[in-house]
Amino acid sequence: MAHSKIAASDEARSECGAVLLMASTTSVRSWRFPLTKSVVVVSGPGRGADALGAELGPVVESLRRDGEHLLSAQALADLDAGADRLAQARCNVAVLGAFKRGKSTLVNALLEREVLPTGVLPLTSAVTVVRHGEAERLLVHFADARVQEHPLASLREFATELSNPGNGRGVRRVEVEFSHPLLADGLQLVDTPGIASVHRHNTAVAYDVLGRVDVALCVMSADQPLAEQELELYRAAAERAGQMLFVLAKVDKLSADERAQTIAFVAQVLREHGLLSAESGVLALSALDGQGIGELRASLRSLATSTRDRVVATALGRTAAVAAAELAHRCALEERALQLPLDQLNALGVVLEQRLAELEAARADANDLMERRVARLLQERVNEPLLGYARTHDDMLQEALGRRAAELVRERPRVLATAIDTWIDERIEVTFAALASELRSLVAGGLGEIASGHRAGIAALLADVHRAATDVLGMSDACEVPEVQLAEQTGFTFKLHDPEHGLDVMVASARRALPGGFGRRLVLRDASERLRAMTDRHAGRLRGELVARAQEAAADHRRRLDAAMDEACASVRCAISRAHDEHADGTDAAQARLEDLRARRERAMRAGRRLAAQPER
């Protein structure tokens, strides 16, 4: 939402701005709701759904009623979903994080069975909700409102990238029902697609879930502790969730010392960003050996039986505060537009559309320029270095191969071949792991510079559009343009061996069986050819991986920037359009609409103040 402070009077403008500030720009620690510390445990799941519903229900209902045709569909749906969870004593525990952090594996470990698909590649493509049910079943909810029931074994067909690439089947969410003690008291485990993978839509799906998160279970990985994109996701979750939990998965990959250092580093970073309180910690766990799983399961069971309704109410209160701010902003903007004479309103609409058309053309030019700059960056920092590497390192590798062969001069051809193959594999892995790290850093730095220039140019264009509306509508806020980060990689992967045909195996085996110097020469000739082929192959694979990542990061930056700009302009367009329609219906209709908007805005601001004044639950 664009955080404008527009209203029909100075007093209204000030009050509306205060609501917006409360909902969207305060730090995590300034909320009256607890973000990073556990709520006080009492007997029973909080004060009870009835009491909490009676407290929040009127506020939510008022926002729902007043927000019809003004609030976004997503905001209305989030309000409804939160009220339903509170009434039905359900609590969403959303498992959040980057791709391949082990989120689905963690859910399976908590439930003590293989419920969700897991694998080496990014798998989850749709939101999967696991909840209690006496009978095992799978419910697939589609975007067109269809609901289909399927056997639990068919989950992979609907919720994975392999079987449902890009969510081409239009799956809105998948619900898995079966009986488990962890789910018996209303907890619902929500498995989300990982962010920062090559599948751009997965990041959008993960962010769309945040409006319905009661508990954010943030999963980081010990082998790649924390990235900026993960922090950005967790900060967004903290603005909505009733409770934050942080776990560090895959600690079995670290020694005891490395584990302690990594946990301390992650906790420090989270505290620096206001996401983790001094008295809270990061839970280390491993789904492989079970470390920490029992402790996490016990914590979630305690939440379900002690503080569930409080946590849900906290999350619903935050969702309502965001909706109240959005509603007050939209009402104030339309009020101001309605107070303009029709001719002035029409003139403003014409000017604004002209500016927006200019902005669209300039944005297209800026995007094209960014694409050309990214292409030049890849040529300079990927293609040319790899070509230079091939020229300078081929002879060096062949010489190193010769030295290794000389060390094995007394070995028989078969033993020599095995040892040389192992040496080639090791040398390729060491060489290209270092090269991948070096080139990735070069690309990331260059991409950040390009994105910074692109962001500044678009921000200047958008400021011009804002100035066009400022004189008449009082709009003065600017669009915040998101930062770009090179999508994080799990590490360069190696492909050292191809499937061999039977004839090739027979020929190679026969060569290795030849005696003396002749057999050795054939083995070394094959090894030289294989070393050159492996070098060429991995140079090509490294180039393809770096190019794909850079292009994806640039495309994601443009998409997020476009979304921010569209959102910033949409409320102004909508206000002018609605005001024009009301003017067209006559003076009486316009006056009635103006009074209605004032009443809605005042109720929204009262709701915001009431939510801000709520004591900690």
DSSP assignment of 5-33, as one string? ---SSHHHHHHHHHHHHHHHTS-GGG-SS
Q: Which of 55-69, 147-161, 166-180 has the highest mean pLDDT?
A: 55-69
Check residue 552 and give its pLDDT: 73
Token pair 């005001």: residue: 579
- Give me the long-range contacts of 406-412 (CB less than 8 A, separation at least 24): 412/519
Give residue-wise pLDDT tens across range 238-256: 989 999 999 999 888 888 8
Check residue 188 and give its pLDDT: 94
In this structure, are residues 217 and 249 in contact, taking their beta carbons and an 8 Å threshold? no
Instruction: Tell me the two tokens of residue 403.
Output: 């030295």
Give residue-wise pLDDT tens across range 223-232: 776 777 788 8
Q: Is 255 exposed, middle or buried (0-12, 13-18, 19+ CB in 10 A)?
A: exposed
State how far the Cα of 9 lies from the Cα of 335, in Å rounded to an integer.
10
Q: Which residue has the higher pLDDT, 490 or 3?
A: 490
**CB under 8 Å to 374, separation ≥6 — which residues?**
447, 450, 550, 551, 554
Give residue-wise pLDDT tens across range 497-548: 544 444 444 545 555 555 666 777 888 888 888 888 888 888 888 888 788 7
State what percent of residues in the chain have pLDDT above 90: 16
Closest to 404 (Cα-Cα) out of 426, 432, 431: 426
Q: What amino acid is encoded at 71 in this protein? A: L
State how far the Cα of 418 lies from the Cα of 526, in Å rounded to an integer.
12
State how far the Cα of 505 lies from the Cα of 272, in Å rounded to an integer.
58
Give residue-wise pLDDT tens across range 76-113: 999 999 999 988 999 999 998 887 788 888 999 999 98
Q: Which of 41-55, 222-236, 569-583 has the highest mean pLDDT?
A: 222-236
Q: What amino acid is encoded at 128 in this protein? A: T
Instruction: Tell me the two tokens of residue 452.
Output: 């910074």
State how far the Cα of 311 lies from the Cα of 33, in Å rounded to an integer.
10
CA 4 from centre of chain: 26
DSSP 281: -
State how far the Cα of 27 lies from the Cα of 579, in Å rounded to an integer.
35
SS3 199: coil
Give residue-wise pLDDT tens across range 445-497: 788 788 777 777 777 766 766 666 665 565 544 444 444 444 444 444 545 55
Instruction: Tell me the two tokens of residue 611.
Output: 């939510």
* Confidence check: pLDDT of 123 > 70: no
Per DSSP, the chain holds a count of helices (H) and strands (E) of 16, 9
Check residue 524 and give its pLDDT: 85
Check residue 437 and give its pLDDT: 81
SS (H, E, C) 487-528: CCCCCCCCCCCCCCCHHHHHHHHHHHHCCHHHHHHHHHHHHH
Q: Is 517 exposed, middle or buried (0-12, 13-18, 19+ CB in 10 A)?
A: exposed
Instruction: Tell me the two tokens of residue 266.
Output: 């992650």
* Confidence check: pLDDT of 430 > 90: no
Check residue 413 and give its pLDDT: 81
Q: Residue-wise over 302-328: b if at least 16 C-beta within 10 A, else e?
A: ebbbbbbbbbbbbbbbbbbbbbbbbbb
Q: Is the dihedral of CA 381, 383, 388, 393 positive or negative?
A: positive
Strands 128-132 vs 187-191: parallel, antiparallel or unpaired: antiparallel
In this structure, are residues 469 and 475 in contact, taking their beta carbons and an 8 Å threshold? yes
* Confidence check: pLDDT of 63 > 90: yes
Q: Which residue has the higher pLDDT, 12 or 57?
A: 57
Check residue 67 and give its pLDDT: 92
Q: Which of 124-128, 187-191, 472-476, 520-524 has the highest mean pLDDT?
A: 187-191
State how far the Cα of 175 lies from the Cα of 536, in Å rounded to an integer.
46
Q: Helices 413-473 and 502-513 meet at what angle, rounded to 10? A: 130
Q: Is 299 exposed, middle or buried (0-12, 13-18, 19+ CB in 10 A)?
A: middle
- Give the mean pLDDT of the chain: 76
Q: What amino acid is encoded at 427 in this protein? A: R
Q: Indicate the pLDDT class of residue 131, thresholds 50, 70 and 90.
A: very high
Check residue 321 and give its pLDDT: 92
SS3 285: coil
Q: Indicate the pLDDT class of residue 434, thresholds 50, 70 and 90.
A: confident
Q: Is 410 exposed, middle or buried (0-12, 13-18, 19+ CB in 10 A)?
A: exposed
Closest to 472 (Cα-Cα) out of 372, 328, 342: 342
* Confidence check: pLDDT of 266 > 60: yes
Q: Helices 413-473 and 384-407 meet at what angle, rounded to 10? A: 160
State how far the Cα of 253 lies from the Cα of 478, in Å rounded to an integer.
46
Lowest mean pLDDT among 139-143, 174-178, 426-430, 480-484: 480-484
Give residue-wise pLDDT tens across range 358-370: 777 877 887 788 8
* Confidence check: pLDDT of 592 > 80: yes
Query: Average pLDDT for residues 381-409, to the nearest whole number?
Result: 83
